[in-house]
Each structure stands twice: as C-alpha cells, then as structure tokens.
Amino acid sequence: MSKFNLYMVRHGQTYFNIYNKLQGWSNSPLTEKGIQNAVDTGEKLKDTKFAAAYCSDTTRAEQTAQTILDENDASDIDAPITSMFFREEFYGYFEGNDMSQAWYLAGAPHGLPTFRDIVEKYSIGKAKDYLKEADPFHQAENNQEYWKRLDQGFDLIKQNPEIKDGDNVLLISHGNTLLSVVERYGNGQFDVTERPANGSLTKLTVDGDDIHVVAFNQQ
C-alpha cells in the first residue's frame, strides 16, 4: 500500500449553502460563485499532478471535481471516480432543514443548543449521534454508521494500484465530512467548530491506516 498526499477540496458554494440548509445526501446546484470557487481552486492546483481523482456522487461534488480537472495542466485524468462512500453525512429527516434549527433540535435536549456547543463539549461524532436520536425516523447516520461508510471510501483510494509512493490524489468533499476527518486525524491542531470555506483545500498524508492532516481550510 502506497504513501500518498490527499488533497481534499470542499465543493463550490450551492444555493443550500446560501440558505444555511443541511444538504447531506440531497443536492442543490452550484451558484455562480460556486462555479467560480471551483475555477479558482483549479487555477491554484493547475500545476499539481494528480494520479487519481475522486468525489461523491452528488452533482455539486462532480461539477466541482470536473472543473478542477479541466483547469489542470499537469494531470492526465478525464473524469473523477465517483462513489456514494464519499457523500456528506446523511441527515435523515433533517435533510434540507435550516441548519441552526436542526442542531438545536438535536442538542437542546442535552443542554447544548448549537452545533458549536455540542462539538466544544463532546465532538462532531457526538453531534451525529444526537441528530440520529432526534430524527423521528432514526434514519440519519450516527457516528459509527457514518465512519463505516467513509472508511470504505478511503479503502477504495488506498487499494487503487495506480497510486504510487509520493503521488497526489484529489478528493472533492463536503463541509461536515472535512470537519469529521480533521477532528479524527488532526491531533487537535485545528478549529473544527466552523465549516471550511467552499473551494478550500485540506491536505493529508496517507500511509495505510496512518493518516495525518497537514493543512486545513486553505483558501
């Protein structure tokens, strides 16, 4: 299994981002600013050679990934590999709901009325567990379910025989997913109470199960 550099980029701005709605497995189109987010990030990464590129199977991630690849002069990749393993957390009943309201319903019964309150006292993982508890259908992903899925995505990348030692890999991701990854692998060095900017870059080194965050929310 190779040691490689993973460039995780948050998708460009969507209409749900403007409206402060939980997006999860649902989708809304990229705004004009969101398309520009992808173009700007693609310009910054145009000379970075990627051995492979991945994204979730949501159109916001696919469009962002394709735009970045189209801007890239150093790589020979026509299109990203898409997988549901890379999707954002599934918010169940709260898909499309106002973000602040959803986290209030999840955290208030525990005396923690905001996402920040939950994370500062416990963790992003605990926030996932609370949201599933608050979901009247209990279909939202809890922390264990979420990581079981996302780990399959990481395995998909690690098992790619085309990726060699020292290669760079592109992964278009999502806000809560980036926070979750940084919380797990960032050794407490980064603030995970605020979502990273659309189009921002988070860099990791991956060596089997040894994963380290080396930069977060670069714009």
Q: Annotated binding site for substrate: which residue ranges?
A: 10-17, 60, 88-91, 175-176
Structure tokens at 151: 């780990």
- Residues 6+ positions from 32 with CB-CB distance below 8 Å: none
* Residue 212 annotated in active site: no
First-last CA distance in the chain: 31
Half-sphere exposure of 191 toward its Cβ, with a 13 Å CA cutoff? 8
Annotated binding site: 10-17, 60, 88-91, 175-176
Catalytic residue among 62, 88, 95, 141: 88
Distance from the Cα of residue 206 to its chain's centroid? 16
SS3 state of residue 18: helix
Residue 66 and residue 41 in contact, taking contact as beta carbons nearer than 8 Å: no
* Residue 71 annotated in active site: no
Identify the CA nearest to 116 among candidates 37, 195, 29.
195
Between the CA of residue 147 and those of 60, 71, 86, 209, what are the distances in Å? 21, 32, 10, 14
Q: Which residues carry out catalysis? A: 11, 88
